[in-house]
Structure 1
């Protein structure tokens, strides 16, 4: 069955009544429970919540690492409820959606030079000759604010922020319509976080790429997201525009999350020792 061509206004991600259950019987764990949402082109949706809320599980289903128990997941009109079974399908799906993980160092070959890693990603999705592939690598480095000489170094020679820029460049090599960013700035210093978030905003403005931004940190959401979904125990607690969720939360759990977010001038108070 052929999929009708998408239009510029169609959602690039559509999730309907998604359920993910691990295990069976009384020991089963319901990680995602009846979650539905859509994501339009050029928009950023933040999935927020504490550890175990189900946000990374949703991301893993979108990226094809796990299968849904029930419900439907579509990316650019194509079903993603089950992982791809062939190399050809995995490559096609990668051309539509890419992942930027929390720690790029673990996903980069420590012995491979950055230029080679990017050229490999370009070749995987676009049949370009060697000269044009090299041009594309330089375009990607420039797009993420890295210099030409960074192509000739290995990941160990880069800072954490620079490695994250490489991870973003590698994701963009496929020219995807959607990028899933799973805690992609949580390991970075605050100043570097701001640089990477500004970079993502600039890239989105120029490419129209949609982002699914997975985070537990509400402090970064206002800088990157248009819309927010608050998750708890696998269910949606509250959803809406970033302004509404952060400035006018309706649910007690959302207010608790906001109140627990460190602010400027915040000083931690040591807990009393147990007696």
Structure 2
């Protein structure tokens, strides 16, 4: 008879159906617990696969129209008081599968980091960064669009079709704007992960350069501690002068 340890090991490596049938008749509590965990994982994997299939909807439509190189683009950092807005553009390879991929805001930091590594290794990725001074000159919407266009230009391949999260870009490439696209398109979701991780890393660097504001924790968003530091220390080179309350502080 197999030990609990042996069964646990077998269940982690796509066990044969004959083994599962045998284990279902095993009355040991430890075996029943392992089977419950196994079935729960199977259901979660199925749910992830179905979610991924649904999120390929817009890519499938574009493929049916004859487009092959389809890039998703998204940005991170529209709302913060400090730091750049960062955009990414991603062309995923054919048959690419990354279960659990979703809007970066719905993922944990460890999940984002893991997905970031996989996407960077497997896909064609471009990144565009617009810093605070230029955000003040352009306004945040135009800065976000410029970052996306820059990210698209950084791709190794020229995309034939663009899937963009909630914006229409002034470029000569066919495109579709998708509201909440980072939760509806795998390409946009991949771009959201790249943009978010890239920006978070930049803000950690800013936190080291400008201690006291907590950029490494708040990513430049207007948290209570961040605003308190602003009142105490004043704005830095990372702060957006066109955003309140920074705008009022600069006028004083």
TM normalised by structure 1 equals 0.23
TM normalised by structure 2 equals 0.24
Structure in which a larger fraction of residues adopt helix: 2
Structure in which a larger fraction of residues adopt strand: 1
